[in-house]
Amino acid sequence: MWTEYMKAKNLQAAEMWKNTIESEGLPCKILPDNKPIEDWSENMNYIIFVPIGREHVADEIIRKI
């Protein structure tokens, strides 16, 4: 199961955070922020998800930056 961890302002920023988190061994995924598939674009908000109960690990990864 996944939980919402953070939001990014666009796809490029979301992928940057995803790559940073995954480089430390924590899986994550990104999805558009509650829009129908017809409205998806690179310049919309994206949500980064991490496994439930592993938010503290993502916090530590982000804190190291």
Q: Are 41 and 10 in contact (CB under 8 A)?
A: no
- How many CB atoms sit inside 10 A of residue 41's CB? 9
pLDDT at 36: 77
Q: What are phi and psi of 5, to 5 degrees?
A: -105, -50
- What are 17-65's pLDDT values in tens digits? 999 999 999 999 999 988 777 878 888 999 999 999 999 999 999 999 8
pLDDT at 42: 85
pLDDT at 34: 80
User: Which residue segment(s) compose the domain that 25 sits in?
Assistant: 2-63
Number of domains present in the structure of the chain: 1
